[in-house]
A and B are shown apart, each in its own frame.
Chain A
Amino acid sequence: MKTFIRPSSMSENHVPYCPGCGHGIALRLIGEAIDELNLLETVIGIAPVGCAIRAWRLFKFDFTQAPHGRSPAVATGLKRTLPENTVFCYQGDGDSAAIGLGELMHAALRCENFTVFMNNNAVYGATGGQLAPTTLIDQPTVSYPSGRDPNVIGYPIKMTEIIASVSKKAYIARVALNSVRNIREAKKAVLKAFKTQQRRLGFSFVEMLSACPTGWNMKPLDALKWMEEKMIPEYPLGEYAVTEGLE
């Protein structure tokens, strides 16, 4: 019999997220992977402005926060000076695809040997559900209440595809946190990302599609259904690059 227990890398602090939010699932997967790879004593987490800023509360290892969008630059400074440690960034989609696009792109371009988990919930959650670069066409937000009109504010950004086009030594995947099956696949991607880093094979990036029922103005179950019907077709799941020597 297997007991479902809290990963030893995770604290007993209250999970500071809304009901139905995907952050708790994403962070738990990271915690499980850190346990399984025995990284507790070497891992350093970085989480910047946004809902992600509270991530440190859920873990027991060294953690630093970062200015909005700048985690990949902070991680560059950390990892280059501490190459033996495992360094990961946990960023939202506004953080990584809007204000921090430059820092993320250039870390990917340099194939920096750390891991970025991008939680994509298609809105700015912490500030109340404004449009993000990842917001779907016609999706209503508090800043564009009649829905995203591409003639006004452009099309959703495909970060995984973009990163895969510039990062030539990298593990790159997109996963979704909406069903048991997809969450199990997500866990595999998290493990592969950390292994890529451990083996010094290059950059690792996992985009995690994630629900924000509060920002979407939906009930949690409806949010999961919307992910399946609308979000995943727009953002196809799968591995977009696998580092040579990983498998």
Chain B
Amino acid sequence: MNEKVLMTGNEAAAEAAIRAGCRFCSAYPITPSSEFLEYMAHRLPQVEGIFIQSESEISAINMLFGASAAGKRAIVASSACGVALMQETISYLASTQLPGVIVNISRAGPGLGRITPTQADYWQMTKGGGNGDYQLVVLGPASVQEMAELTYLAFDLADKYRNPVAILADGMLGQMMEPVVLPKFRDLNSLPQKPWAVTGAKGRERNLVLVAPYTDEEMITLNEELDRKYRVLEAAEQRWEPTFLDDAELVIVAFGTAARIAGDVIERARNEGIKVGMIRPISLWPFPKDAFKNLEAHVRTYLVLEMSNGQIVDDVRLTRPGDTPVHHYGKGGGWKPTSKGVYEQILQLWRCIA
């Protein structure tokens, strides 16, 4: 067991969802996420699960709303503009505290854009998108292995906190193939109990899933309750991967595909005596603020590498202690950094501080 298999990121996420006990997927075709839908279409019936190709992304996320209200583990997958169509109901999921997993294999925007990889949906996923004060938990995988692992984890986080959880990847991670060790199948009987689910009021008080609290006071109370939950999440669920942070003077901040590219360059720069390190946020929300603690003693500059015009860089500026300079290297619209380009950026900054 635990043998390595070769899969795309879309397939690995879909298979991991099934192994996590997910038996419901609704989705609408969109490149570069469609392989997720196709995998679920043939795989879910094999495990007595339900797959529905919906008439729109709006309908897909509302089908998830129904399956989740029924107490089932459910997932939707889409991309960028397709996820934009889901935002209304994602806000409703947050307000009703229904779990659910949303996979965004993003593509270049704004608008319909192109199917090229991008990280320009960082704000879309981490800063709302729907209305009201709410937060998604957002996980940013950087390999096919993590597409599987983080999707698997997403279901546990969603159930534990009764909150929707998003996987934010891109067309590169969704469509490239890598060896992956898949997680174990969860026993469906071992999944968390959901005494709040609407399943028919037999032998108990009735359950309600309300998107509209009945009084103004109840609406404020709900917001206070959500805020408390988000603070707990911020304290307990930050995830990041540190690289050479013990003595780094130049720290790259990058997630997902950008971090993969930076990782290769860091090895080479270290061999040349450049004291560079990296913070790779894995939880994009909650943003891994703790990763920046106690770095001010030796870090002299930050380099944020991202495939957008500048989104996660805002969180780095808000988070890093003191006034250490924060530089941005990135561009939206499907631009991908090269190893050479990243190396040159490192070299340039190193010359300034060394």
Q: Are B62 and A62 in contact (CB under 8 A)?
A: no
Q: A65-B209, A67-B88, A67-B92 are in contact. Are A73 and B58 (CB under 8 A)?
A: yes
Q: Are A74 and B69 in contact (CB under 8 A)?
A: yes
Partner of B200, one of A49, A56, A61, A65: A61
List A contacts of B201 (CB < 8 A): 40-41, 60-62
Least CB distance from A146 to B in Å reads: 33
- What's the tally of chain B residues with a CB closer than 8 Å to chain A? 40
A85 at the interface (CB under 8 A from B): yes
User: Could you count the A-B residue pairs with CB atoms below 8 Å apart for me: how many are there?
Assistant: 127
List B contacts of A79 (CB < 8 A): 66
Q: A40-B201, A77-B24, A80-B50 are in contact. Are A66 and B70 (CB under 8 A)?
A: no
- What's the tally of chain A residues with a CB closer than 8 Å to chain B? 33
Interface of A is mostly: mixed
B168 at the interface (CB under 8 A from A): no
A32 at the interface (CB under 8 A from B): no
List B contacts of A43 (CB < 8 A): 200
Q: Are B62 and A102 in contact (CB under 8 A)?
A: no
Task: Give the distance in Å from the alpha carbon of A74 to the alpha carbon of B54 in the complex.
Answer: 12
List B contacts of A42 (CB < 8 A): 200, 202
List A contacts of B64 (CB < 8 A): 77
List B contacts of A67 (CB < 8 A): 62, 65, 88-89, 92, 211
List B contacts of A175 (CB < 8 A): none
B56 at the interface (CB under 8 A from A): yes
In the complex, the 4 A-B pairs of residues with the closest C-beta atoms, listed nearest first:
A77-B66, A73-B62, A64-B209, A77-B67
Q: A49-B212, A62-B201 known; 17 other A-B pairs, CB under 8 Å?
A: A41-B200, A41-B202, A42-B200, A46-B66, A56-B210, A62-B208, A66-B62, A67-B211, A70-B62, A70-B65, A70-B89, A73-B59, A76-B52, A77-B67, A77-B68, A79-B66, A102-B55
- List B residues at the A interface (Cβ < 8 Å): 23-24, 26, 50, 52, 54-56, 58-60, 62-70, 72, 74, 88-89, 92, 96, 198-203, 206-212, 214
What are 20 A-to-B residue pairs whose CB atoms are below 8 Å? A44-B200, A53-B212, A56-B208, A61-B201, A62-B198, A64-B69, A66-B65, A70-B62, A77-B63, A77-B64, A77-B68, A78-B69, A79-B66, A81-B66, A82-B200, A85-B200, A102-B55, A102-B58, A102-B59, A106-B59
